[in-house]
Structures are given as structure tokens and as C-alpha cells.
Structure 1
Amino acid sequence: MLKVNEILRVKGDVLYTITPDATVEQAIQIMSEQDIGSLVVLEHGELVGMLTFREIMRCLNHKKDIHSATVRSIMDDHPVSVTPNTEATEVQRLMLELHARYVPVMDGPTLLGVISFYDMARALLEMEQFENNMLKAYIKHWPDDKTEADE
């Protein structure tokens, strides 16, 4: 069964972070420049929240001033997280149940990365293609039902 650590290994280890005291405007700038949908919020090296476009849209909808509003004031300060050994099916369930597009991967207090809905879809598609290729190879080399004694 596919596990989170395998998805992270394929995805790579690039992680974009921001501090909770940064402004929402700074967060938008980073997310736009890097073409990403989330930022991990770290304080003193520890995960304290996640900031996604969802929180930014809510901020804009409430007409908060993005120049002065802080990341802390709009971030999700209790994001659901998974471990490297969590199975992909469990991550799917959590993402769908909680409407979470981004899930931090924690090994104890250590942040290893973030799994996105896109990462999950890509990993599952690649796994399906691999299994399909393996089945095709197996069928192509299917042993004959006849034995030499039957001939």
C-alpha cells in the first residue's frame, strides 16, 4: 500500500514557509511568485498553522486590510497532519472529509513536508499506471495451459 513517505520522496523536499507575524500581503506575494496554494506557518522552527488561498479569500471577503492583517489572524492554527507511515487511502479520506487541500506531514515535532490534493492525485495515478503495466506484462508472459506432455 502506498504511504506518505513514498509520495514525499517523489515530490521532493521544497517547502515554502512564513512567520505568523508576516502580513497577508507578504503571503500573497510569496504564493503568487512561487505559484503555490499554501504556506506552512512556522514560529521558532515549529509548525503553528497553515495558510491557504481559502483563508486568504475569507480575509478578502471580510474586507480586512491585507497590508496590515497578519498571517496569524487568518491562518488555520489547527491543521490536520499525517505521519510518514500514513497510508494514502487514509490521507484521501481525511482530505475529503475535512475539505483539506493541503496536509502537513509530521514526524513527531519535525515537519517533513506538505501533501497537496494534487500530490495525492498524481501519486495515485502513477501507482495505477504502474500496476496496469505490471498486469499487462504478466498477461503478456502468461504461461501456456498446455504442458509438453499434452503435446
Structure 2
Amino acid sequence: MATVETILKTKGKAVYSVTPATTILDALKLMAEKDIGAVMVMEGDKVMGIFSERDYARRGTLQGNPVTTPVKDVMTHKVYYVGPEQSAEACMAQMIDKHFRHLPVVKDGKVVGVISIGDVVKTILSDKETLIKGLENFLVGRDFKQ
């Protein structure tokens, strides 16, 4: 069963962040440039929240001008985390239950990566495909011996 660490080895451990004072527009530019759906909102090493495309769609368009409004006004303040040892299946369950698409990965109190629902789904599908191929090979080998 794949873990968060496995996902990070595949996708990389880059953590993109902005400060609470960063404007919505600047955060969106960074997200577009890096082709990501969310950025961590941090003051130094301290997580203040997470800002996602969903935050912009749900609150950013309604609360002022994206050129002047800081992300702190529209970000998600309650952030859920996972550790590198957590299974991909557990991450998916948490994302579905809490209705979010990005999970910061924390190790020793520090954010070491961010995974998305897409990363998790790809990993789980790959695991299932490997399992199916193994079962097919087992059955074919078994039938061949009889």
C-alpha cells in the first residue's frame, strides 16, 4: 500500500508559499506559474492557512478586489495535515470527508510537501493496476500448470 512518502518521491517535495499579506492576484499568478492548485500561507515556518483555487472561487470573487485583497481574508484557516507514513487510502478518505483537495505533509513539525487529490488518485489507481496484473499473472500461471 502506497504512502504519502511514495507520492512525494514521485511528484517532488516542493512547497510553494505566500505570506498572509500577499494579494489574491499575486498568489494566483504563482499558482498559474507553478501549475498548482494551492499555496501554503506562511509567516516564516509557521503555517497560517492554505489558499486554493476553491478559496478564490468561493470567497475571493466576493470579497473585494483581487489586486488589493490579501489572501489572509479568503484563505482556509483550518488546515488538516498528514505525515509521510500515512497511506494514500487514508488521505483520500480524509479529503473526501473534509471536502478539500490539498493536504500539507508535515514531518518533525515542518511542511515537507503538499499532495493533491489528483496525486492520491493516481497513486491508488497505480496500486490497483499492479494488484490486478499480479492476480492475472497468478491465475494464468495457475491455469497453465493444470
Tell me if TM exceeds 0.5.
yes
Structure-2 residue corresponding to 1:46: 46
C-alpha displacement at 1:78, in angstroms? 1.6
AA in 1 matched with 2:123: A
Q: Find the structure with the greater CA-based Rg.
A: 1
Cα displacement string for residues 45-85 of structure 1 (whole angstroms, at most 9, x for unaligned residues): 22221100111123344241111111111111221111111
Alpha-carbon distance in 2 for matches of 1:22, 1:69? 8
Structure 1 residue ranges, 4+ long, deviating more than 6 angstroms after superposition = none
1:103 aligns with 2:103: yes
Once the two structures are superposed, residues 109-146 of structure 1 have per-residue CA deviations (whole angstroms, 9 ceiling, x without a partner) of 1111111010011001111111112222222322735x
Quick one: which amino acid aligns to residue 113 of structure 2? G
**Backbone CA RMSD of aligned residues:** 1.6
Contact 1:46 1:109 in 2 (8 A): no
Q: Which runs of 5+ in 2 are unaligned?
A: none
The 1:59–1:29 alpha-carbon spacing in structure 2 relative to 1, beyond 3 Å, is same
Partner of 1:148: none
8 Å CA contact 2:14, 2:112 repeated in 1: no
Partners of 1:10 and 1:111 lie apart in 2 by 17
Query: Normalized against structure 1, the TM-score is what?
Result: 0.87
Identity %: 26
Find the aligned partners of 2:61 and 2:39 in 1 and give their Cα distance. Answer: 20
Q: How does 1:128-139 map to 2 (within 5 A)?
A: 128-139=128-139
> Where does residue 7 of structure 2 map in the other structure?
7
* Residue range with higher mean Cα deviation, 113-122 or 29-38: 29-38
1:18 deviates by 1.2
Structure 1 unaligned residues grouped into runs of 5+: 146-151
Instruction: Report if aligned partners of 2:56, 2:74 keep a CA contact under 8 Å in 1.
Output: yes
Report how many aligned residue pairs link the two structures.
Answer: 145
Structure-2-length-normalised TM-score: 0.89
